[in-house]
Amino acid sequence: MAHIQQSLSTSISSSTSTLMDQHKLRLRSQNVSLPGKTGGIVRCVATPSTETSSKTKVSRNENLAKLQAGYLFPEIARRRSAHMLKHPDAQIISLGIGDTTEPIPEFISSAMAQRAHDLSTLKGYSGYGAEQGEKQLRASIASTFYANVGIEEDEIFVSDGAKSDISRLQVLFGSNVTMAVQDPSYPAYVDSSVIMGQTGQFQKDVEKYGSIAYMRCTPENGFFPDLSSVPRTDIIFFCSPNNPTGAAASREQLTKLVHFAKNNGSILVYDSAYAMYICDDSPKSIFEIPGAKEVAIEVSSFSKYAGFTGVRLGWTAIPKALLYSDGFPVAKDFNRIVCTSFNGASNIAQAGGLACLSPDGFKAMKNVVSFYKENTEIIMETFKSLGYKVYGGKNAPYVWVHFPGRSSWEVFSEILEKTHVVTTPGSGFGPGGEGFVRVSAFGHRDNVVEACRRFKELYK
């Protein structure tokens, strides 16, 4: 041990002298001799434990124990992986999870690359930014998407995506609220409510969680719920265009929804992540509806417009006029949640977002959306030609195909086994999705065409 200390002391002294003499910081390799060792590396080896198991005294979160199986999309990935092991030579085509496939437009990726490079310079480097997002990007989101509805830049919170903000909103609301959700709908709404403790146990006979109001959306009601049969809840989650059905609510329907929320004193969480896919006069924002600023929050994302599913960038708009029952502004509490749990979206991603909202970037996003909508038309025409009833597609990148009298998972398995194409079982979005399968238009054109050829072979 004395030998080690002497060697270290000599090395440090020598290194210090060199630094003082040259007035420069340089990294030098220092060899430390250890008795009985041939090299200069000390390895720490763990002693194998003789215990077979060990437990803490911490109880599991009982709300997580309520969740049924795995989250939908990881479960689909698991089944896909099992299929690949069984059929290693098969060409798997994925039209399941709504993950974009086309490259980010070069104009947008170049802006991110430039920002990344700038971070390597003294002039361009920046560390922590505002948790709410960079001022220029917040202003650009407000002027691009909300110019005619009066949402201002300080009512915009930039984030790492709509899914993350949904969970932050659940933390904001807490466990002592009641919730209503479209049925079928994006699973994150229900699962996050379960985790927060807002629900009762899962009721297997009806495939629902207790204390959640499931607002059934079917072809018969135009995929808009009969609000007269919906009980009063504190929070209402609503997505338009809807994932998974692809249905976009009309102005008249959204006006009814806003009035319903206002009459019940509820807060409406409106997910507009697919708004740029709307091609008719359906509202692209809930704030187009008079009175919405007093009852609504809007979450949105760059993911499905610019290919940012991996980049991660979105936003939430909370009007100053939205107040709790005691008059306290909702936005102030959300700001506290954001500042406590989030250090802001990546500055590189935000540079990309700013490029998206420039004239050239916005045009590029529209081109991406148009490409996926062309895929949607191919898929819709395929299933229509086979005699199936098909919904969605027009205002969304999803095709909702009805297989009457059949289990969604059964159809999913049949398609995967016989065509090697991954879809999404409708029942994974709620009991109202049973008998349906969602086919995503996010895919390379050649893959979409080939998948449709296989569908025709299977169901001709």
pLDDT digits (tens, 9 = 90+) for 87-130: 999 999 999 988 999 999 999 999 999 999 999 999 999 999 99
Are residues 233 and 179 in contact, defined by beta-carbon separation less than 8 angstroms?
yes
CA–CA dist 158, 137 (Å, integer)? 8
CA–CA dist 199, 175 (Å, integer)? 8
pLDDT above 90 (res 35): no
Cβ neighbours of residue 443 under 8 Å, at least 6 residues apart?
A: 93, 94, 95, 101, 375, 451
Strand partners for 298 = 270, 317
Q: What is the mean pLDDT of residues 186-205?
A: 96
pLDDT above 90 (res 11): no
Burial class (CB in 10 A: 0-12, 13-18, 19+), 239: buried
pLDDT value of residue 179: 98
CA–CA dist 196, 104 (Å, integer)? 35
Confidence of residue 53 (pLDDT cuts 50, 70, 90): confident
CA–CA dist 412, 436 (Å, integer)? 9
Confidence of residue 52 (pLDDT cuts 50, 70, 90): low
Cβ neighbours of residue 419 under 8 Å, at least 6 residues apart?
A: 451, 454, 455, 457, 458
pLDDT value of residue 43: 56
Q: What is the mean pLDDT of residues 343-349?
A: 98
Q: What angle do CA 426, 431, 432 make, to 5 degrees?
A: 70
pLDDT value of residue 47: 59
pLDDT value of residue 21: 46
Give the residue range(s) of CATH 3.90.1150.10 domains in the chain: 70-100+360-457
pLDDT above 50 (res 12): no
pLDDT above 60 (res 309): yes
Instruction: Report the relative pairing of strands 398-402 and 390-392 from DSSP bridges.
Output: antiparallel
pLDDT above 90 (res 10): no
pLDDT above 80 (res 234): yes
Q: What is the mean pLDDT of residues 177-196?
A: 97
Instruction: Report the relative pairing of strands 156-159 and 314-317 from DSSP bridges.
Output: antiparallel
Q: What is the mean pLDDT of residues 433-450?
A: 98
pLDDT above 80 (res 8): no
CA–CA dist 15, 7 (Å, integer)? 12
pLDDT value of residue 363: 98
Q: What is the mean pLDDT of residues 298-317?
A: 98
Phi, psi of 180, rounded to the nearest 5 degrees: -120, 145
pTM of the model: 0.88
CA–CA dist 104, 116 (Å, integer)? 16
Domain 70-100+360-457 CATH class label: alpha beta
pLDDT value of residue 22: 43
pLDDT value of residue 23: 43
Confidence of residue 71 (pLDDT cuts 50, 70, 90): confident
pLDDT above 70 (res 350): yes
Phi, psi of 319, rounded to the nearest 5 degrees: -65, 150
pLDDT value of residue 203: 95
Q: How far is CA 388 from CA 75, 306, 427, in A?
A: 26, 32, 18
Give the residue range(s) of CATH 3.40.640.10 domains in the chain: 104-357
CA–CA dist 104, 100 (Å, integer)? 9
| Token representation of residue 65 | 């124990």
Q: What is the mean pLDDT of residues 355-384?
A: 98
pLDDT tens-place string over residues 235-273: 999 999 999 999 999 999 999 999 999 999 999 999 999
pLDDT value of residue 183: 98
Sheet holding 390-392, edge to edge: 390-392, 398-402, 436-440, 424-425
Using a pLDDT cut of 70, give the percent of the chain over it: 88
Instruction: Report the relative pairing of strands 208-209 and 202-203 from DSSP bridges.
Output: antiparallel
Least Cα distance to 157 among 179, 182, 130, 177 occurs for: 130
Q: What is the mean pLDDT of residues 25-29?
A: 41
**Average pLDDT in the chain:** 91
pLDDT above 50 (res 20): no
Cβ neighbours of residue 60 under 8 Å, at least 6 residues apart?
A: none
pLDDT tens-place string over residues 147-162: 999 999 999 999 999 9
CATH 3.30.565.10: does it fit domain 104-357? no
Which helix (H) or strand (E) covers residue 19, if one does? Answer: helix 2-22
Strand partners for 179 = 212, 235
CA–CA dist 182, 430 (Å, integer)? 9
Phi, psi of 377, rounded to the nearest 5 degrees: -60, -40
Using a pLDDT cut of 90, give the percent of the chain over it: 86
